[in-house]
Amino acid sequence: MNYKSTRGTSGEILSAAQIIKQGLASDGGLFVPESIPSLTHDEISALCSLSYPERAATILSKFLTDYTYDELLCDCKAAYCEDSFPGGAAPLKNVYDNIYSLELWHGPTAAFKDMALQIMPRLLSRALTKTGEDRTALILVATSGDTGKAALEGYKDIDKIKIMVFYPVDGVSRVQKLQMATQTGDNVNICAIKGNFDDAQTGVKVIFSDKDAAEKLDEKGYFFSSANSINWGRLAPQIVYYVSAYCDLLTSGKIKMGDKINVCVPTGNFGNIFAAYLAKLMGLPIDKFICASNQNNVLTDFLCTGTYNRNRDFHCTMSPSMDILISSNLERLLYFSAGAEKTAEYMSLLNTTGAYTVESEVLNTISENFKGYFADEEKTGATIKDYFKNHSYLSDTHTAVALNCAEQYINETGDKTPMVVASTASPYKFAADVLKSITGTNPTDALKALDILSEVSGTEISYPLRNLAERRVRFTTTIEHENMLSEVFAFIEK
Ligand SMILES: *Cc1c(COP(=O)(O)O)cnc(C)c1O
């Protein structure tokens, strides 16, 4: 199985290991497989009796054909082990009637990015060996909180890789800061910078494009790499949990083989929902994809009108991981719906004008599968309260957006197909907003909000967020953002 660019102009035809190492295609496009492997009903049946790591290795081996099944199984077992995901990686809970919550947040940082970031570093480490790379990869991440922590947990103590995370000193919550400052692992470094998230991100981008720095790094046996969410190594592992959910519905007798399900995904960068679509292209019986957005509803508008327009106000919401105006992975859907040439055109327009409009045939093709809805802050808060009071289900702010959008879709269409809603974060990760939605009062202390939420809801705090205040703080450095590069060299020379 080889991979090529969504924009079709780079001419690159590369193996999985090569693209996982490289990240982006050289024409700026994203890598996509040349063909989609099939998943037959018999194969789905066979997966039903297997564990999550075994299901994952089977699906991944269809895409990563330059990795052996045994290599993938070994990595999947390590990534999704009981220590990291107590009780299993992607449990499916019935919320009420035929609404199911696919809980993707039982991992080491209590958010769904763990599902990809626990396995991707292992795939990258092997990719370095497979491509004859003898240097060490130095991952740089600028974070506004959640991605940085998930990346640190994923890359810590992985062979041939070091990771350095920069975050804005006053731009992350107290819980997030504590989570990062207490990070374990011998190959990690975390550094606060004076400035905002943009300063951190721009600083990392400047370092990535600095040829002198790359040369100096090369002399020391390192090269820069990113943990970006457009990397195929982060996308492919996400296909698995939709297949796994289907197997769980079969096993519990809720559906019969071949019955369709719908999925609803709280969406930001369009990675998660696109992975679900890939599962359908492989043969998993999925009917509709409900794309759920918050007040930043650029995707809702696109799916409704065919015009993508990022020239609009940016809203800071209580579901911050979906506060996005450029949804990068949408490019992969455009490629599969309109082809490489059109995709290159759209992306060039997006770059120059901030907007593009797809032809009506393209919109029709997309609309057969995708329906866009959004929930504003008021609806999101009301949904958290409603699900807690009426269905005894405690959801985080991102999941609540999706639950609300799923309801809007069902009310509008009367569609009775089982609905699998992706639940992307533990309610404890956003405890203050969840608590406020339920009780109407604003907790004064972010750490106390966790304990109060546990008391009010009668549920346990997710394990990665317990006893945060008691852990040993290892990283306390704060620097001017102009000094990020020298901090990077100080780290590898240590
Ligand atoms: C990243 C994230 C999302 C959005 O996922 P995409 O794959 O970017 O669409 C939703 N919820 C949470 C909690 C996230 O961290």
pLDDT digit string, tens, across residues 230-283: 999 999 999 999 999 999 999 999 999 999 999 999 999 999 999 999 999 999
pLDDT tens digits along 401-431: 999 999 999 999 999 999 999 999 999 999 9
270 in ligand 1 pocket by Cβ < 6 Å?
yes
Instruction: Name the β-bridge partners of 111.
Output: 425
Amino acid at 452: I
Q: Which ligand 1 atom is the nearest neighbour of the CA of 146? A: 15
Query: What's the pLDDT score for residue 201?
Result: 85
| For ligand 1, atom 11: residue with the closest CA | 424
Report the 10 Å Cβ neighbour count for 408: 18
Ligand 1 touching residue 266 (CB < 6 A): yes
**Per-residue confidence band for 315, with pLDDT thresholds at 50, 70 and 90:** very high
d(CA 371, CA 369): 7
Six-digit token pair at 212?
A: 């002198």
Q: How confident is the model at residue 295 (pLDDT cuts 50, 70, 90)?
A: very high
The average pLDDT across 138-148 equals 88
Q: What is the mean pLDDT of residues 443-471?
A: 92
What confidence score (pLDDT) does residue 303 get? 98
Residue with tokens 């496009």: 29
Residue 40: pLDDT band with limits 50, 70, 90: very high
Longest dimension (CA), the chain: 63
Q: What is the pLDDT of residues 447-459, one digit of tens each?
A: 899 999 999 999 9
The Cα–Cα gap between 75 and 196 comes to 36
Bridge partners of 31, per DSSP, are 5
The mean pLDDT of the chain is: 95
CB 382 within 8 A of CB 45: no
What pLDDT score was predicted for residue 237?
A: 98
Summarize the confidence of residues 115-126 as an average pLDDT.
96
Cα(430)–Cα(257) distance, rounded to whole angstroms? 37
Number of Cβ within a 10 Å radius of residue 442: 10
Which residue owns the Cα nearest ligand 1 atom 2? 321
Identify the band that residue 227 occupies on the pLDDT scale cut at 50, 70 and 90. confident
Other CB atoms within 10 Å distance of the CB of residue 238: 24
**Stretch 154-169: mean pLDDT, rounded?**
94
d(CA 53, CA 38) in angstroms, rounded, equals 19
Q: What angle do CA 92, 97, 100 make, to 5 degrees?
A: 20
Radius of gyration of the chain (CA): 22
Pocket test for ligand 1, best of 141, 322, 333 (most atoms within 8 A of CB): 322
Residue 269 beta carbon below 6 angstroms from any ligand 1 atom: yes
User: Band of the pLDDT at 229, cuts 50, 70, 90?
Assistant: confident
pLDDT at 389 over 90: yes
d(CA 348, ligand 1 centre) in Å = 25
Mean pLDDT to the nearest integer, 62-68: 98
Token digits of residue 233: 């190594």
446 pLDDT above the threshold of 90: no
**Confidence at residue 443, expressed as pLDDT on a 0 to 100 scale:** 83
What does the pLDDT read at residue 195? Answer: 87
pLDDT value at position 205? 87
- 281's tokens: 């292209």
pLDDT at residue 145 greater than cutoff 80: no
Determine the residue of 318, 332, 424, 462 to mutate for testing ligand 1's pocket, defined as the one with the most ligand atoms within 8 A of the Cβ atom. 424
Q: Note the pLDDT of residue 310.
A: 94
Among all chains, which residue has been given the structure tokens 């859907």? 333
Where does the pLDDT of residue 442 fall: very low under 50, low under 70, confident under 90, or very high at 90 and above? confident
The pLDDT confidence band at residue 494, using thresholds 50, 70 and 90, is confident
Which pLDDT belongs to residue 172? Answer: 83
Q: What is the average pLDDT across 472-494?
A: 93
Q: Can you tell me whether residue 455 is helix, strand or coil?
A: helix
Distance CA(392)–CA(395), nearest Å, equals: 10
State if residue 278 touches ligand 1 by the CB under 6 angstroms criterion: no
Three-state DSSP at 420 gives: strand
Report the pLDDT value the prediction gives residue 198, as an integer from 0 to 100: 81
Tokens of 4: 């090529």
| Position 186 pLDDT exceeds 90 | yes
> Residue 427 and residue 272: Cα distance in Å, rounded?
19
**CB of 145 sitting under 6 A from ligand 1:** no
Q: 394 or 145: whose pLDDT is higher? A: 394
Question: What span, in angstroms and rounded, lies between the C-alpha atoms of 370 and 300?
Answer: 10
Q: Is the CB of 398 under 6 A from ligand 1?
A: yes
How many whole angstroms separate alpha carbon 56 and alpha carbon 402? Answer: 25
- Rounded to the nearest angstrom, the distance between the alpha carbon of 164 and the centre of ligand 1 is 22
Q: How far apart are CA 27 and CA 7, in angstroms?
A: 7
User: At residue 297, does pLDDT exceed 80?
Assistant: yes
| Cα 327 to middle of ligand 1, angstroms | 11
For 34, counting Cβ atoms within 10 Å of its Cβ (0-12 exposed, 13-18 middle, 19+ buried), the class is: exposed
| Separation CA 75–CA 69 (nearest Å) | 10
Q: Which of 398, 399, 404, 462 to mutate to test the pocket of ligand 1 (most atoms within 8 A of CB)?
A: 398
